[in-house]
């Protein structure tokens, strides 16, 4: 492999990035040193195993990645705004759509989802932490350093450019020599291992760590959605790992899984990667459904309508989504029988999804609805997801897909479900639980500005793309000539679409502003129950103490906190005397971070085919694993006095009814 | 693990070991002596493998141990469904390849 | 909806979860996902097994070698069970002895596999010779890598056992490594059947 171009050169944008990366890194280092924050960073964040802090780190990184992916998106839209544009070279355009897609799905949506898992699930089920806090930290650091590995490809070695799913044989050595493709492989391989472990962690957390009185059928729907999503993670991420390993074998060892020569079969790559890829989109959308279920119930002041059917449809989605992957390559030619089966399975998924939408609407029916920020995002989600779902069913009709396949119609469809479903859902979740985790409500006025710019931007950007698809514009097209442009009507629509992309960018800036502004001036939540909520996370202070629950809550049915509040209002309500017991908590550990650093070193080494470095990194990974195995002093108890002190301090802080547990 | 009622006993292990050996020897003999037609042979040796897997599950891996909901059994069943889907699905979908090549 | 649940949490072991049981369940689930990893390699093998490009094909596998490998691994699965049995009897010496025997058998298995691979490569049947060989080496090699990892894991546990004896934590660790070992044996049965037996059939 040709390593003579270690640093990417030749493009002003890249020099700009170089300079800004160096400046930002310097600024961070100087800041940390000047304010003597290194120790704090290490003790409070890098070594933490507290699910709330890990959740916060996931949230920050995913917002950062949303920014990076968003910049990519805007660059592409600038390029496409007018015909014959020379803003980006074709090669550069390829790199940008590749990193945009990869980052948005794997480094924005996934960590945003894990942020919500971590920030909410233990609080919702009355647990003090996840089942494996140490593993949780490992997962986070693997994700984070995997993401960084992909991101540095922009300035070192060169970006991948074979598309977000890197179809073989294009992604093989013959057509994509150089480190870019390897960065893609190792970046997502490392973070994918982290995702798999998070899946195991949350399945076990939900099954085993609920407060002893909470039965599964009393569990809040968000936690159910996390269970469904985690089951799907367990089902498909091993396929992902193996498939990426196969591509690695081809590229690094000269194998022939997916090559054009030596009997390899590139279509096998397409088959395997979509076995993971399709369920992946349901993995990210299921928790969004869960978020909406919580929000609708809270802001309609009603129990959710059709709880059992909600649970059933989520589990059904997570299983049936395993049987639809071929709809991404109907045109491959596997034959009518194959296509029919997978087309039907795809359409079947629309049924449970429809059930959920009706349940939300029935919950709102005759409810006392409050239009808060989370609720706004829910109300935006419904029409957006309906249109996205309808165009999805159009694409699922195999014969018709021969027309739509890989056109802008498809681009519009999947952005409609990914943005309208996943991003709106996670943002709604962020608005909803922000007061819980940070003790701060996010500013309404800026939030509304963000909301409306996002909404208008979304439709302005993506509606024209359905039309462009029908007019024959294909995806991944880096430019079009002016006869196509003005005569065939492509240019005006593309221009409009670009305007929409900018509006969404402005919406994002509003949100960043909103968060920063609210941290400084926002309304503080002292009640612990910012929205008059229904589930257990609202029964404890915001932000919760390390151990979450001083006493494990007693659950007597669904919407446990809501019924408890009602009982407390009755005259006959008697506070039980509280008697604290020592709480068992895991110790912080630096090993997860070090292990991920070793993974990073290994990934970087193999990316440049520096075997010595790759193997050294892997040996480092094993050393950290062994070091952990030999650690016996892994947890501690919080004493009763300390709990009392913490609880009293929290209660004097102004909040109510906490002892009610 | 804390409760002391394990299905593990020396008898169980020895039985499992013997059964495994038998279930390994049968397909070996069948194949090396070309005892059947190709289809029948394939089915029988796969069957022997599955049986041996079951033997290992019960006699070595103590799938029956433990109290409460059997989450490990559920995970295993779901896993088997997925395994079959992956292998059979890939073979079925890629079978057109033999005509294309 | 509000049925009375006799709920006094503080009576129930302080709300602590049985840590070792928790880890065992997680490990089970991990093993199931590992099955899916192998299934993916099996799927690739099944699709590519005829793509030999006129080179080495599955008919030419060394029969005695894979038969010996099979019985070694099978026996080691048995001995790892005996290790667990000694552990439950509180017999630390027996436990360590059976673990060492298991480990040596595992090493013999890996040794034979390495020899097989080396012989193949010497014949020119390398990983880059054909798609069939790529998928073969990947599938069998992944299994071999798992066994190797298991050997190192057992060595680590042996050290802990000799230092700490049979405690709830080491008990869980031994149970897990033996579960892992049985699992690898089960995977091997399918490799034997699908790769070797159906190959030479
Ligand atoms: C913020 C607004 C967004 C805009 C303006 C935008 C724009 C684009 C554009 C212009 C393309 C390339 C089309 C082509 O040339 O083929 C693209 C591709 C893609 N986008 Fe987005 N996008 C946005 C958000 C997202 C989000 C939130 C996700 C996922 C969660 C996402 C996932 C993808 C994927 C997977 C691709 C395909 C990449 C490929 O072809 O390999 N996008 N997007
Ligand atoms: Cu799909």
Cβ(A463)–Cβ(A412) below 8 Å: yes
Spatial CB neighbours of A210, under 8 Å, sequence gap ≥ 6? A125, A126, A127, A216, A219
Are A426 and A334 contained in the same domain?
yes
- B76: nearest CB among C32, C182, C194: C32
* Torsion over CA: C16, C18, C19, C23 (sign): negative
| Tokens of residue A128, six digits | 């003090």
Q: Do A184 and A317 belong to one domain?
A: no
What confidence score (pLDDT) does residue A97 get?
A: 96
Centre of ligand 2 from the C-alpha of residue A566, in Å: 44
From chain A, pick out residues whose CB is under 8 angstroms from the CB of C26. Answer: 131-132, 200-201, 204
CB atoms under 10 Å from CB of B4, counted, come to 6
- How close does chain A come to C54, measured CA to CA in Å? 10
Q: Which of A238, A264, A584 sits opposite C16 (nearest CB)?
A: A584
Q: Does A200 touch chain B (CB under 8 A)?
A: no
**Is C131's CB within 8 Å of A242's CB?**
no
The pLDDT assigned to C117 comes to: 96
Tokens of A448: 């509304």
In angstroms, how far is the first alpha carbon of chain C from the final one?
62
Q: Is the CB of A474 under 6 A from ligand 1?
A: no
What are the residues whose beta carbons fall under 8 Å from the beta carbon of C181, sequence distance 6 or more?
C76, C77, C80, C102, C106, C150
Per-residue pLDDT of chain C in tens (201 residues, 90 and over written 9): 333 333 333 333 444 567 888 899 999 999 999 999 999 999 999 999 999 999 999 999 999 999 999 999 999 999 999 999 999 999 999 999 999 999 999 999 999 999 999 999 999 999 999 999 999 999 999 999 999 999 999 999 999 999 999 999 999 999 999 999 999 999 999 999 999 999 998
> Most confidently modeled of A2-6, A428-432, A632-636?
A428-432
Residue A609, phi-psi category: left (phi > 0), alpha (psi -120 to 50), beta (remainder): left
Q: What local confidence, expressed as pLDDT, does residue A107 receive?
A: 97
Specify the number of domains making up chain A.
2
Q: What is the CATH number of the domain that holds C154?
A: 1.20.120.80
- Host domain of residue C60: 2-200
Residues A195 and A343 grouped into a single domain = no
Q: Which of A68, A81, A97 to mutate to test the pocket of ligand 1 (most atoms within 8 A of CB)?
A: A97
Indicate which residue's Cα is closest to atom 1 of ligand 1: A70
Residues B38-96: tens digit of each pLDDT: 899 999 999 999 999 999 998 888 887 766 678 989 999 999 999 999 999 999 999 88
User: Which residue, among C18, C33, C57, would best test binding to A if mutated, counting the most A CBs under 10 Å from its CB?
Assistant: C33
Q: Are C194 and C45 in contact (CB under 8 A)?
A: yes
Q: Do residue A14 and residue A159 come from a single domain?
A: yes
Give dist(CA A176, CA A32) in Å, integer. 40
Q: How far is CA C59 from CA C52, C56, C63, C192, C201, in A?
A: 11, 8, 10, 13, 7
Question: CA-CA distance, A351 to B91, in Å (whole number)?
Answer: 29
Residues A250 and A373 in one domain: no
Q: Is ipTM over 0.90?
A: yes
Question: A255 is written with which tokens?
Answer: 């194998």
- Residue C112, classed as helix, strand or coil, is helix
State the pLDDT at residue A432: 97
| Single residue among A479, A500, A528 that ends a domain in this structure | A528
pTM (whole model) above 0.90: yes
For helices A266-300 and B71-94, angle between their N-to-C axes, nearest 10 degrees: 140
Task: Kindly write down the DSSP assignment for every residue of A457-468, as one continuous string.
Answer: HHHHHHHHHHHH
Note the pLDDT of residue A12. Answer: 77
Q: Is A504 in the pocket of ligand 1 (CB under 6 A)?
A: yes
Question: What is the structure's pLDDT at A574?
Answer: 72
Regarding whether A225 and A189 lie in a shared domain, the answer is yes
Terminus-to-terminus CA distance in chain A, angstroms? 64
H-run or E-run covering A584: strand A583-586
Number of domains in chain C: 1
Q: Which residue is it, tokens 């929290």?
A: A650
Tell me whether residue A382 is exposed, middle or buried, using C-beta atoms within 10 angstroms of its C-beta: 0 to 12, 13 to 18, 19 or more: middle
In this prediction, residues A47-74 reach a mean pLDDT of 96
Over residues A11-31, the pLDDT tens digits come to 777 778 788 888 888 888 898
Say how many Å lie between the CA of residue A100 and the centre of ligand 1: 6
Is the pLDDT at B3 greater than 80? The verdict is no
For the residues B15-35, what does the mean pLDDT come to? Answer: 92
Q: What are phi and psi of A171, to 5 degrees?
A: -85, 5
Residue A281: inside a domain: no
Q: Tell whether A175 and A244 lie within a shared domain.
A: yes
Claim to verify: residue A362 and residue A463 sit in the same structural domain: yes
Say if ligand 1 is within 6 A of residue A104 CB. Answer: yes
Residue appearing with tokens 């000694």 = C86
Q: In a 3-state reduction of DSSP, which class is residue C129?
A: coil
Nearest Cα residue to A478 out of A68, A11, A87, A71: A87
* Residue carrying the six token digits 């006869």: A483
Query: Does residue A658 sit within a domain?
Result: no
A199: its two tokens: 């899946």
Q: How far apart are CA A273 and CA A164, in angstroms?
A: 11
Neighbours of ion ligand 2 (CB under 5 A): A 278
Count CA within 13 A, CB hemisphere, residue A419.
Answer: 26
pLDDT tens-digit series, residues C45-63: 999 999 999 999 999 999 9
Alpha carbon A311 to its chain centroid, in Å, reads 21
Q: If you average pLDDT over every residue of chain A, what do you get?
A: 92
Does C24 touch chain A if contact means CB atoms closer than 8 Å? no
- Residue A45's CB is within 10 A of a number of other CB atoms, namely 15
For residues A240 and A165, give the distance between their C-alpha atoms in angstroms, rounded to a whole number: 11
Pocket test for ligand 1, best of A75, A407, A415 (most atoms within 8 A of CB): A415
CB atoms within 10 A of CB A516: 13
Average pLDDT over residues A547-555: 92
**In-domain check, residue A570:** no
Domain boundary pick from A264, A279, A299: A264
CB contact under 8 A, A239 and B78: no
In a domain, A188, yes or no: yes
Neighbours of chain B (3+ CB pairs under 8 A): A, C
Q: Which residue of B has its CA nearest to C27?
A: B72
A22, two tokens: 């160096």
> What is the SS3 assignment for A208-272?
HCCCCCCCHHHCCHHHHHHHHHHHHHHHHHHHHHHHHHHHHHHHHHCCCCCCCCCCCCHHHHHHH
Give A272→chain C minimum CA distance, Å.
8
Return the number of other C-beta atoms located less than 10 Å from residue C61's C-beta: 17
Domain locations in chain B as residue ranges: 1-65, 67-101
Q: Report whether the peptide linkage leading into residue A169 is cis, meaning its omega lies within 30 degrees of zero.
A: yes
CATH of the domain at A331: 1.20.210.10
What is the pLDDT averaged over residues A405-421?
Answer: 96
Residue span of the structural domain in which A198 resides: 1-45+52-117+138-264
User: A109 in ligand 1 pocket by Cβ < 6 Å?
Assistant: yes
Mean pLDDT of A441-466: 96
Residue C90: Cβ-neighbour burial (10 angstroms; 0-12, 13-18, 19+): exposed
Contact in structure between A273 and A329 (CB atoms under 8 Å): no
Q: How far is the CA of A93 from the centre of ligand 1 (A)?
A: 12
In this structure, the answer to whether residues A208 and A60 fall within a common structural domain is yes
Q: Is residue A498 part of a domain?
A: yes
User: For residue A561, is it within any domain?
Assistant: no
Hey, are the CB atoms on B13 and C85 less than 8 Å from each other?
yes
A334 touches chain B (CB under 8 A): yes
């Amino acid at each position: 492999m040709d390593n003579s171009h270690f640093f990417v050169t030749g493009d002003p944008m890249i020099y700009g990035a170089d300079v800004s990366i160096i400046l930002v890194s310097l600024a961070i280092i100087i800041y940390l040193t000047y304010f003597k924050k290194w120790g704090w960073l290490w003790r409070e964040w890098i070594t933490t195993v507290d699910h709330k802090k890990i959740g916060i780190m996931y949230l920050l990184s995913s917002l950062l990645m949303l920014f990076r992916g968003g910049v990519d998106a805007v660059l592409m839209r600038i390029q496409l705004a007018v015909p014959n544009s020379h803003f980006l070279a074709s090669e550069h355009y390829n790199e940008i759509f590749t990193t945009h897609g990869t980052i948005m799905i794997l480094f924005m949506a996934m960590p945003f989802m894990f942020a919500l898992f971590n920030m909410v699930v233990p609080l919702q089920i009355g647990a003090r932490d996840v089942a494996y806090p140490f593993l949780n930290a490992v997962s986070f650091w693997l994700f984070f350093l995997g993401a960084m590995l992909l991101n540095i490809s922009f300035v070192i070695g060169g970006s991948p450019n074979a598309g977000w799913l890197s179809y073989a044989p294009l992604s093989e050595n013959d057509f994509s020599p150089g480190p870019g493709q390897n960065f893609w492989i190792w970046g997502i391989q490392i973070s994918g291992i982290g995702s798999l472990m998070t899946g195991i962690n949350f399945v076990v957390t939900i099954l085993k760590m609920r407060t002893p009185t909470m039965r599964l059928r009393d569990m809040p729907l968000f936690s159910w959605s996390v269970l469904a999503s985690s089951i799907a993670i367990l089902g498909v991420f091993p396929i992902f790992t193996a498939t990426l390993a196969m591509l690695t074998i081809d590229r690094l060892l000269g194998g022939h899984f997916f090559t054009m020569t030596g009997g390899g079969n590139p279509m096998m790559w397409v088959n395997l990667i979509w076995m993971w890829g399709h369920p992946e989109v349901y993995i990210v959308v299921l928790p969004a459904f869960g978020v909406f279920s919580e929000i609708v119930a809270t802001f309609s002041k009603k129990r959710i309508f059709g709880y059992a059917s909600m649970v059933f449809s989520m589990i059904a989605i997570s299983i049936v989504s395993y049987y639809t992957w071929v709809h991404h390559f109907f045109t491959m030619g596997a034959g009518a029988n194959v296509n029919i089966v997978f087309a039907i399975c795809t359409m079947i998924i629309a049924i449970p999804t429809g059930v959920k939408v009706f349940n939300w609407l029935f919950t709102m029916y005759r409810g006392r609805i409050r239009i808060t920020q989370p609720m706004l995002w829910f109300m935006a989600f419904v029409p957006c997801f309906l249109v996205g779902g309808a165009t999805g069913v159009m694409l699922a009709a195999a014969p018709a897909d021969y027309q739509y396949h890989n056109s802008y119609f498809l681009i519009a469809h999947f952005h409609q479900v990914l943005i309208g479903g996943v991003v709106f859902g996670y943002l709604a979740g962020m608005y909803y639980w922000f007061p819980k985790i940070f003790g701060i409500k996010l500013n309404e006025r800026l939030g509304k500005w963000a909301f409306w710019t996002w909404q208008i931007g979304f439709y302005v950007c993506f509606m024209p793309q359905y039309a462009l698809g029908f007019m024959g514009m294909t995806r991944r097209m880096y430019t079009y000539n002016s006869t196509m442009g003005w005569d065939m009507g492509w240019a005006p629509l593309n221009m409009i679409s670009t305007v929409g992309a900018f509006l969404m960018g402005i919406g994002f800036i509003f949100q960043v502003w909103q968060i920063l502004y609210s941290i400084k001036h926002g309304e503080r939540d002292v009640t612990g129950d910012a929205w008059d909520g229904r589930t257990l996370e609202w029964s404890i202070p915001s932000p919760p103490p390390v151990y979450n629950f001083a006493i494990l809550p007693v659950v007597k049915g669904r919407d446990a906190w809501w019924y408890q509040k009602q009982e407390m209002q009755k005259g006959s309500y008697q506070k039980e005397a509280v008697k604290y017991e020592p709480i068992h908590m895991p110790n912080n550990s630096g090993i997860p971070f070090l292990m991920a650093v070793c993974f990073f070193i290994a990934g970087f080494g193999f990316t440049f085919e520096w075997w010595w470095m790759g193997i050294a990194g892997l040996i480092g990974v094993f050393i950290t694993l062994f070091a952990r195995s030999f650690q016996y002093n892994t947890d501690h108890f919080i004493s009763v006095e300390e709990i009392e002190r913490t609880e009293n301090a929290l209660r004097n802080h102004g909040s109510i009814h906490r002892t009610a547990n | 693990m804390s409760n002391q009622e394990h299905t593990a006993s020396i008898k169980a292990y020895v039985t499992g070991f013997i059964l495994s050996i038998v279930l390994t020897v049968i397909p070996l003999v069948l194949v090396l002596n070309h005892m059947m037609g190709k289809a029948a042979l394939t089915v029988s040796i796969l069957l022997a493998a599955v049986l041996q897997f079951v033997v290992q599950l019960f006699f070595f891996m103590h799938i029956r141990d433990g109290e409460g909901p059997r989450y490990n059994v559920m995970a295993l069943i779901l896993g088997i469904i997925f395994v079959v889907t992956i292998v059979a699905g890939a073979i079925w979908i890629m079978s057109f390849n033999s005509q294309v090549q | 909806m509000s049925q009375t649940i006799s709920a006094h949490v503080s009576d129930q072991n302080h709300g602590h979860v049985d840590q070792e049981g928790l880890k065992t369940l997680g490990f089970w689930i991990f093993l199931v996902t590992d099955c899916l990893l192998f299934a993916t390699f099996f799927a690739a093998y099944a699709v590519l097994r005829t793509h030999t490009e006129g080179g080495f094909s599955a008919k030419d596998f060394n029969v005695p070698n894979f038969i010996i490998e099979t019985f070694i691994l099978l026996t080691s699965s048995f001995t790892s069970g005996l290790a667990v049995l000694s552990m439950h009897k509180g017999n630390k010496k027996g436990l360590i002895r059976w673990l060492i025997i298991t480990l040596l058998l595992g090493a013999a298995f890996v040794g034979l596999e390495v020899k097989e691979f080396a012989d193949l490569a010497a014949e020119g049947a390398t990983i880059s010779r054909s798609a069939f060989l790529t998928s073969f080496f990947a599938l069998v090699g992944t299994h071999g890598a798992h066994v190797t990892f298991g050997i190192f894991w057992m060595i680590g546990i042996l050290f802990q056992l000799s230092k700490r004896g049979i405690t709830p934590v080491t008990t869980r660790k031994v149970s897990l490594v033996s579960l892992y070992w049985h699992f690898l044996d089960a995977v091997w049965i399918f490799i034997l059947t699908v790769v070797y037996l159906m190959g030479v059939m």
